[in-house]
């Protein structure tokens, strides 16, 4: 048991999928895992452990934003021995070639600031995904019929952004999409010698202002879970 996770030692699997929303963690565990057991509900952040095709898996919420994810990822890696963390979530597209419902596999994650900035100080560390996971996820995603994009994303530390000039530069430099967690996830994976990947579905578009209705987001989320599971155990 840690400050933020009430699971006992051994309750957490070495492979952890991390949606932002704890209720999505519950939904995914009940839909995809055999005999899921709730192992955490401290502060309403739900975590479940079960089996997928003979492999032990935990699905645990991360909350919104890098500070929240950093708390849970640190404790999962440091205190529970997690070895693979895969973020599954939504993102906003920043390129015209990227469409709603497309899947983005984040090879790198740029940011203005992360909770790890105090550790790196003057160094502009370049956090990136685990290549083996990235390759396996691409193979898994290819069979889903959605558009697939591999490249850099932007992890923002604010949701209501008021920097159109910065967005213009990211579009200009080929950044595929924006979300709020992956950069710190990749930082922590590097620090602890773990594997990490962000598998994202495009739920809205910053350029066209399109957005998926809530029911379509749920079906797209199913594809992300399947891609993440298949990649983790490829």
Catalytic-residue membership of 204: yes
Residue 161 has pLDDT above 90, yes or no: no
- What residues pair up with 154 in beta bridges, in sequence order? 110, 178
Report whether 204 belongs to an annotated binding site: yes
Which residue from 134, 152, 151 is spatially nearest to 142, judged by alpha carbons?
134
Instruction: Give me the CATH code for the 15-232 domain, please.
Output: 3.40.50.1580
pLDDT reported for residue 127: 95
Average pLDDT, the chain: 95
pLDDT reported for residue 214: 72
Residue 120 to residue 173: CA distance in whole angstroms: 24
Report whether 60 belongs to an annotated binding site: no
What would the mean pLDDT of 186-204 be, rounded to a whole number?
A: 97
Residue 53 to residue 208: CA distance in whole angstroms: 40
Exactly one of 157, 161, 204, 216 is catalytic; which is it?
A: 204
What would the mean pLDDT of 151-168 be, rounded to a whole number?
A: 93
Model confidence band, residue 48 (pLDDT cutoffs 50, 70, 90) = very high
Report whether 90 belongs to an annotated binding site: yes
What would the mean pLDDT of 113-131 be, rounded to a whole number?
A: 95
Integer-rounded Cα Rg, in Å, for the chain is 17
Residue 118 to residue 43: CA distance in whole angstroms: 26
Domain ranges of the chain: 15-232
pLDDT tens figures, 50-77: 999 999 999 999 999 999 999 999 999 9
Backbone angles phi, psi at 187, to 5 degrees: -60, -50
Model confidence band, residue 116 (pLDDT cutoffs 50, 70, 90) = very high
Which residue from 87, 98, 103 is spatially nearest to 171, judged by alpha carbons?
98
pLDDT tens figures, 143-156: 887 799 999 999 99
Report whether 180 belongs to an annotated binding site: yes
Number of neighbours of residue 207 by Cβ within 10 angstroms: 13
pLDDT reported for residue 176: 98
pLDDT reported for residue 145: 77
Model confidence band, residue 218 (pLDDT cutoffs 50, 70, 90) = low
Report whether 71 belongs to an annotated binding site: no
Report whether 179 belongs to an annotated binding site: yes
pLDDT reported for residue 143: 84
């Amino acid at each position: 048991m840690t400050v933020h996770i009430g699971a006992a030692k051994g309750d957490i699997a070495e492979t952890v999928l991390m949606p932002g929303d704890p209720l999505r963690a519950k939904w995914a565990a009940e839909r995809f895992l055999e005999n899921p057991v709730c192992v955490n509900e401290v502060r309403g952040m739900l975590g479940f452990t079960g089996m997928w095709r003979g492999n032990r898996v935990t699905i645990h919420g991360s909350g919104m934003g890098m500070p929240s994810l950093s708390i849970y990822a640190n404790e999962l890696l440091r205190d529970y021995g997690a070895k693979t963390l895969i973020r599954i979530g939504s993102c906003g597209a920043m390129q015209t070639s990227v469409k709603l419902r497309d899947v983005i596999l984040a090879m790198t994650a740029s940011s203005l600031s992360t909770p790890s900035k105090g550790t790196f100080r003057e160094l502009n560390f370049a956090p990136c995904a685990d290549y083996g996971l990235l390759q396996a996820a691409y193979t898994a995603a290819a069979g889903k019929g959605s558009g697939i994009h591999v490249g850099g994303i932007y992890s923002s530390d604010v949701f209501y952004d008021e920097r159109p000039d910065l967005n213009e530069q990211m579009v200009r430099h080929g950044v595929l999409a924006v979300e709020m967690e992956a950069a710190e996830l990749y930082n922590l994976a590097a620090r602890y010698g773990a594997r990490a990947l962000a598998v994202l579905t495009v739920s809205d578009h910053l350029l066209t202002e399109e957005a998926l209705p809530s029911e379509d987001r749920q079906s797209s989320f199913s594809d992300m879970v399947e891609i993440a599971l298949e990649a983790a155990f490829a």
